[in-house]
Amino acid sequence: MIEKEQHVLVIFPHPDDEAFGVSGTIASYINQGTPLTYACLTLGEMGRNLGKPTFATRESLPEIRRKELNKAAEAMGIDDLRMMGLRDKTLEFEDDTQMKNMVRDLVEELNPSLVISFYPGYAVHPDHEATARAVVRALREIDENKRPKFHAVAFANDTEENLGKPDVVHDIRSVQEQKLNAMRAHISQTARMLEMLEEGIKAKDPEALKWVTNERFYTYDWQNDHVQ
């Protein structure tokens, strides 16, 4: 059973970041009645894929991805979806203080007991890293006795070498179909991967089954916080 929370705040930069990494966890919290807010910072309008076969253009992609994000939220059961309106592939150039304050405002409004985002230094993409830094900067300002827990997704190649094994693992087998439906919702970006994943699941390939068996997180280590 997933641990009970008062309110969960999920913060990611792109539509589909949540689907791949945490949609099973999101669905699990919502299914047990936990209030959950998903703040998606951009519409992923610079996404490299335009569908397979192609059905989007550079001009139409932002609106397509907005609709896909709404569909994914519906698949997971999210009622409180916030589209924060920043521009894809530019988050590293946003003002650090404004980014931090945006996160802090959400935390002050919602008073979550848990925040989920990326782990700074282990999130690979510049937008992911900028988001992770903003979350750390915002949470760091809160007295540690009142600070929400921070469960972070990390997937850089050297993650386990430096951070060890994930210390939070959620069994998501009961919400496998909700996770797949969240991924299917982002079809402009996920078509190729979904083909391989669904074939792998049918064939009981261990690598494919990992995606729909558990989701892994690191509790952020405030004692070794190196974010500037």
Q: Which two tokens stand for residue 167?
A: 């210390």
- Supply the pLDDT for residue 1: 73
Among residues 54, 52, 57, 25, the alpha carbon closest in space to that of 38 is found at: 25
Alpha helices in the chain (DSSP H): 17-21, 23-31, 61-76, 96-110, 126-140, 159-163, 176-185, 187-202, 206-211
- Supply the pLDDT for residue 104: 98
Sign of CA dihedral 121, 89, 62, 85: positive
- Supply the pLDDT for residue 50: 81
CA distance 26 to 140: 24
Angle between helical axes of 61-76 and 176-185 (0-180°, round to 10):
170
Q: What are 156-159's contacts with CB under 8 Å, separation 24+? A: 156/121, 156/122, 156/123, 156/124, 158/122, 159/119, 159/122
pLDDT tens across 73-91, in order? 999 999 999 999 999 999 9
- Supply the pLDDT for residue 146: 96
Q: What's this model's pTM, rounded to 2 decimal places?
A: 0.96
pLDDT tens across 159-179, in order? 999 999 999 999 999 999 999
pLDDT tens across 30-68, in order? 999 999 999 999 999 888 788 788 877 888 899 999 999
Residue 153 has pLDDT above 80, yes or no: yes
pLDDT tens across 114-149, in order? 999 999 999 999 999 999 999 999 999 999 999 999
CA distance 172 to 193: 19
Tell me how far apart the 2 most distant CA atoms of the chain are, in Å.
52
- Supply the pLDDT for residue 57: 84
Q: Which two tokens stand for residue 166?
A: 């994930």
CB-based contact 77:30 (threshold 8 Å): yes
All domains in the chain, ordered by first residue: 8-220 (3.40.50.10320)
